[in-house]
């Protein structure tokens, strides 16, 4: 059994982690911390966990965390970087679901996240936890930077095209749409049901924090910078991300190879589903499941390829991917605790 601790478990990423870990056959949850809610039984805040998890939030306590095999950080940005050093030094593995270790360029990170980095030397050591790209490194990693939700959907959509050099990488477009749980569980007017439901809007066009993360991942595959316009939108639903990615083929004659190229690329990936040609993945088909479904289109005999990619932002886009990374790190079956089928309808 893997002994795990969770730091900061009151948000949506945290409760999703709890839902997955409480049912995981190889995990024992040792502690779940929340400064503000210490003493509160977790099931009082999340009654869906009544009967499944008999644990209360506790004050973060390094001594307790150091006894864990693995600590997940489901905290706001800027927390994990202040605690990871001590845990890593104590031999504890760490998975940060926030953004502290995602961006290799420290200055770039500081610019987008608006703070100095408390632990730049660990950034270098951290492995970006996208298993479909980095599985071998994840296996050996002690510190994982768990990818953001948009970056997961967009990279899985575009990487096969980039790695195979098929598209013009100067003018990529990712028109992405997310359900409201992506905004987190903080009290706010903008995400009241009376405000956000029955409406649709773009946001963050000038620059969303996931932009440098996506560009970094695509550039690595491209072995050169990429040009990307990334426009996130808010969808009036709770869970789900849909990325609609546009790119121009360098050579129109490659159209016929695209479907099989994607199928080959993801043939051994249990959590990436390349759908049949002509499909339209729906976000609800991954609701609660650790799956990314992808479909490839090249409309109107043109040279613009349109990749559709859906994930559950809280699962493959956050907590599920973190559990997948844990499974890889500890030599468990990669789908241990992740076999739930999406809830439809």
Closest to its own copies by CB, 86 vs 107, is 107
- What is the rounded distance in angstroms from the CA atom of residue 243 to the CA atom of residue 177? 6
Q: Which has the closest alpha carbon to 217: 153, 308, 282, 311?
A: 153
# residues contacting its own copies (CB under 8 A): 89
Closest to its own copies by CB, 64 vs 340, is 340
> Does 339 contact its own copies by CB under 8 A?
yes
> Per the residue annotation, which of 68, 149, 245, 292 is the catalytic one?
149
> Does 30 contact its own copies by CB under 8 A?
no
> Does 275 contact its own copies by CB under 8 A?
yes
68 is catalytic: no
Within 150-209, the residues that bind its own copies by CB under 8 A are 171, 173, 175, 177, 179-181, 183, 185-189, 191-203, 205-207
Within 31-50, the residues that bind its own copies by CB under 8 A are 46-50
> Does 111 contact its own copies by CB under 8 A?
no
* Nearest approach, Cβ of residue 49 and its own copies (Å): 6
* Nearest approach, Cβ of residue 234 and its own copies (Å): 9
Q: How far is CA 161 from CA 243, 262, 277, in A?
A: 15, 8, 16
Q: Which two tokens stand for residue 23?
A: 């049912």
- Part in contact with its own copies (CB under 8 A); list of ranges 84-92, 125-133, 235-243, 249-257: 235-243
> Does 25 contact its own copies by CB under 8 A?
no
For its own copies, which residue of 155, 169, 259, 283 counts as binding (CB under 8 A)?
A: 283
Rounded to 10 degrees, what is the CA torsion of 160, 165, 168, 170?
80
Cα-flanking dihedrals φ and ψ of residue 22, to 5°?
Answer: -60, -30
> Does 23 contact its own copies by CB under 8 A?
yes
Specify whether the CB–CB gap between 169 and 226 falls below 8 A.
Answer: yes
For its own copies, which residue of 308, 311, 328, 332 counts as binding (CB under 8 A)?
A: 308
* Nearest approach, Cβ of residue 191 and its own copies (Å): 5
**Cis peptide leading into 160, omega within 30 of 0?**
no
Q: How far is CA 251 from CA 218, 229, 258, in A?
A: 20, 22, 12
Closest to its own copies by CB, 91 vs 345, is 345
- Indicate which residues carry an active-site annotation: 149
């Amino acid at each position: 059994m893997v002994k795990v601790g969770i730091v900061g478990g009151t948000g949506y990423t945290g409760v999703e982690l709890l839902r997955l870990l409480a049912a995981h056959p190889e995990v024992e949850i040792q502690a779940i911390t929340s400064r503000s809610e210490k003493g509160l039984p977790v099931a009082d805040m999340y009654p869906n966990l009544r009967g499944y998890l008999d644990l209360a939030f506790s004050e973060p306590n390094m001594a307790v965390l150091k006894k864990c095999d693995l600590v997940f950080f489901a905290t706001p940005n800027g927390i994990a970087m202040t605690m990871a050093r001590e845990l890593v030094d104590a031999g504890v593995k760490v998975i940060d679901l926030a953004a502290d270790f995602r961006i290799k360029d420290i200055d770039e990170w500081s610019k987008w996240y608006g703070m100095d980095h408390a632990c730049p030397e660990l950034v270098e050591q951290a492995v970006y936890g996208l298993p479909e790209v980095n599985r071998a490194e994840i296996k050996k990693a002690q510190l994982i930077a768990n990818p953001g939700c948009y970056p997961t959907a967009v990279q899985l959509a575009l990487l096969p095209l980039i790695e195979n050099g098929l598209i013009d990488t100067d003018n990529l477009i990712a028109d992405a749409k997310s359900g409201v749980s992506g905004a987190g569980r903080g009290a706010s007017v903008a995400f009241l049901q009376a405000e956000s439901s029955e409406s649709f809007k773009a946001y963050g066009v000038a620059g969303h924090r996931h932009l440098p993360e996506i560009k970094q991942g695509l550039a690595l595959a491209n072995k050169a910078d990429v040009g990307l316009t990334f426009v996130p939108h808010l969808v009036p639903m709770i869970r789900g991300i849909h990325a609609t990615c546009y790119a121009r083929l360098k050579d129109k004659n490659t159209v016929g190879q695209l479907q099989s190229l994607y199928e080959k690329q993801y043939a051994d990936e249990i959590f990436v589903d390349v759908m049949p040609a002509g499909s339209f993945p729906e976000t609800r088909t991954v609701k609660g499941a650790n799956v990314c479904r992808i479909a490839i289109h090249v409309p109107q005999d043109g040279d613009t390829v349109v990749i559709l990619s859906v994930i559950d932002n809280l699962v493959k886009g956050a907590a599920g991917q973190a559990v997948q990374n844990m499974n890889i790190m500890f030599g468990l079956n990669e789908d241990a605790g992740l076999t739930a089928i999406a809830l439809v309808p």
